[in-house]
Amino acid sequence: MTTLLRTAFLLATLLLGSVAAVAQNPTAVPRLTDERMADSWYVEQAKLWQQQTERTPSDAQAWFNYYRAVRYSAFGDSVNRHLQHERENDIADAMERAVPNSYEYHLVRWLIGGNNRSLFHHLETALALKPNFAELAPDLISYYELGGDRDKVKEYAKKWYESKALSPSLYEYTYNVLASLEPDAVIFTGGDLDTYPIWILQYVRGLRPDVTVVNTSLVMVAEYREWLMNEFNIGGDKSLLDWERLATRSVVEIQAEFIQSVATMTANRPVYTALTLDPSQVALIENNLYLVGLANRFSTRRIDNMAMLERSWRTFRLDYLEGTPYGETYGFDRTWLSKMNLNYVAPALLLYEHCSTANRTSDAQMYRSLLTRLGRDAGQEAELAEHLRKIEGGATTSGAVILPLDTLHVDEQSAFARSITLFPNPTSRLVTVNFARPTHAALTLIAIDGSIAKQLATSDHRVTIDLAGLTPGSYLLSITSKDGTATKRLEVKP
């Protein structure tokens, strides 16, 4: 598991990968960024790998799979995180007794430490024992990035790139993100899949070195935040992310305040947010965000984002959307790609509407075909078809503040998310959101095109939402409270 996944907020899937029947033999547990399985699969694998370690306690790889299965089985469970951490430490202690000199033991000690710099000797030892850059490069890059050592970041970015561990499709998506940005841009990112590939393209391929990445997880580290903002002329109130504020606020709340501060106080540099950010993180600036490609540009003045969007789109590399010849060898392509590509939906809808209105029939048909394919690949064809019919019937799509469906941060697995129920679901008119106890929460209902369908707040243990007038299809209900954040999927029937 990589460093960025261990902090702030966690990646999860909109649609869980298929889960095979209960296996009799343990199966290697893939990295979460390669393939996401259901919690029950990880629980079963944890049992099987534990049994394997009991049979062959000297099998370091079995121990590592056991650790990873346990880690992923409660991924996003912030409520019971301390219990989970104790269990992980118990595994590490057992590994220290059984396989103390192994690559796997030292890597697990480092991973459990959550980027604790005093434990770096474990990562160094793991690297010396097995220079597996496909596995270790993310943590090495984060370690040196947090220390401001960009030469080392470049060194390990190059080794990671040469390992060919990342899907070419991810690089193509990332290229298009960078193509969406103006010179000297600052862009907020949130996780592994929207951060590391940018650095690799910058340091290895020399693409867009003018762009500064602000990862919302890494920037929580005070020393790094101070260095990054001073070194790259980024404005904003650094104190908004002080850990003391977490006594009364959630991580997402203080991140949203920090992003607002940077966006409004950074002079002479355009500020963007990646489409892969949690909508709650940009809630305070959503009325000043303009979709310009695979990123939203912040502006307090009205801008011609349609012209920017068309310019960006003309430079996009889109051939990979047809399928890559070696895609089947990458777990990312099987699990994440179709969901990540849904971030093309909002800009493509805007361009389809724009071209249709301007009687650019050929261009409009191109966007329509792309939208149909994206919907089909992600299992959202019917919902997108309905949006296309609405546009063709004269409805308009907002040119500003489209928050694309965040397919990488849907959280139905954390304890907070599991404590929330929607009933009935599917539904045609009303849905009741039930909390485990009275909860102060903000709720945002997001449509497939990323537009906000409903917003409301509650301080009760349940709230009923009237869905009258909504287009049938899939929606995301984003819920933010001091207890955490959650995103639930809601199906609206005709």
* Domain boundaries, given as residue ranges, for the chain: 4-130, 415-492
Whether the CB-CB separation of 410 and 446 falls below 8 Å is answered with no
**Segment 12-30 mean pLDDT:** 54
Listed residue (388, 473, 484) closest to 435, CA to CA: 484
pLDDT level of residue 47 (50, 70, 90 thresholds): very high
258 Cα distance to chain centroid: 18
63 vs 398: which has the higher pLDDT? 63
pLDDT, residue 75, reads 63
**Segment 455-469 mean pLDDT:** 87
What count of other Cβ atoms lies within 10 Å of the Cβ of residue 469? 6
Listed residue (164, 166, 161, 174) closest to 317, CA to CA: 174
Listed residue (465, 487, 493) closest to 416, CA to CA: 487
Name the phi and psi angles at 245, rounded to 5: -70, -15
Q: Fill in the DSSP letter of residue 409.
A: B
Three-state SS sequence of 139-201: HHHHHHHHCCCHHHHHHHHHHHHHCCCCCHHHHHHHHHHHHCCCCCCEEEECCHHHHHHHHHH
The SS3 call for residue 427 is strand
pLDDT, residue 76, reads 53
Q: What is d(CA 193, CA 208) in angstroms, rounded to the nearest whole number?
A: 18
Q: What is d(CA 50, CA 155) in angstroms, rounded to the nearest whole number?
A: 37
At residue 323, what is the residue type?
G
Name the phi and psi angles at 348, rounded to 5: -65, -35
Q: What is the CA radius of gyration of the chain?
A: 22
Q: Tokens for 60, please give them.
A: 């370091």
Q: What is d(CA 219, CA 236) in angstroms, rounded to the nearest whole number?
A: 12
pLDDT tens readout for residues 131-156: 999 999 999 999 999 999 999 999 99
Ranges 80-89, 239-248, 407-416, most confident = 239-248
Q: Tokens for 477, please give them.
A: 């209900």
Q: What is d(CA 283, CA 265) in angstroms, rounded to the nearest whole number?
A: 17
Name the phi and psi angles at 289, rounded to 5: -105, 135
Looking at the domain 415-492, which fold is it?
A: Immunoglobulin-like (2.60.40)
pLDDT, residue 316, reads 97
- Taking 60 as the threshold, does the pLDDT of residue 78 lie above it? no
Listed residue (180, 213, 482) closest to 314, CA to CA: 180
Residues 6+ apart with CB under 8 A from 323: none
Contacts 24+ apart (CB under 8 A), 133-141: 133/159, 133/160, 133/162, 133/163, 133/165, 134/160, 134/163, 134/165, 135/107, 136/107, 137/163, 137/165, 138/2, 138/3, 138/4, 138/192, 138/196, 139/2, 139/3, 139/110, 139/111, 139/115, 141/196, 141/199
Q: How deeply is 23 buried, as exposed, middle or buried, from its count of CB atoms within 10 A (0-12, 13-18, 19+)?
A: exposed
Q: In what order do the strands lie in the sheet with 452-458?
A: 452-458, 441-446, 473-481, 484-492
Query: Which segments within 327-379 are labelled E, that is strand?
Result: none
Please identify which residue in the block is written with the tokens 């103390």.
100
CA distances from 316 to 92, 171, 337, 404 (A): 45, 12, 17, 18
Whether the CB-CB separation of 5 and 192 falls below 8 Å is answered with yes
**Segment 104-130 mean pLDDT:** 95
pLDDT tens readout for residues 441-451: 888 888 766 67
- Taking 50 as the threshold, does the pLDDT of residue 410 lie above it? no
- Taking 80 as the threshold, does the pLDDT of residue 408 lie above it? no
Q: In what order do the strands lie in the sheet with 430-434?
A: 421-423, 430-434, 462-466
DSSP per residue, 369-404: HHHHHHHHHTT-HHHHHHHHHHHHTT----SS----
- Note if the bond before 424 is cis, omega within 30 degrees: yes
- Taking 50 as the threshold, does the pLDDT of residue 233 lie above it? yes
Q: Tokens for 99, please give them.
A: 């396989």
pLDDT level of residue 77 (50, 70, 90 thresholds): low
Q: Which CATH architecture has domain 4-130?
A: Alpha Horseshoe (1.25)
Report the range of poorest mean pLDDT among 41-55, 166-180, 245-259.
245-259
36 vs 194: which has the higher pLDDT? 194
Q: How deeply is 152 buried, as exposed, middle or buried, from its count of CB atoms within 10 A (0-12, 13-18, 19+)?
A: middle
Listed residue (387, 456, 207, 157) closest to 315, CA to CA: 207
pLDDT, residue 16, reads 29
**Segment 361-380 mean pLDDT:** 90
Any idea what the Cα angle at residue 255 is, between residues 252 and 257, rounded to 5°? 115
Whether the CB-CB separation of 457 and 442 falls below 8 Å is answered with yes
- Taking 90 as the threshold, does the pLDDT of residue 22 lie above it? no
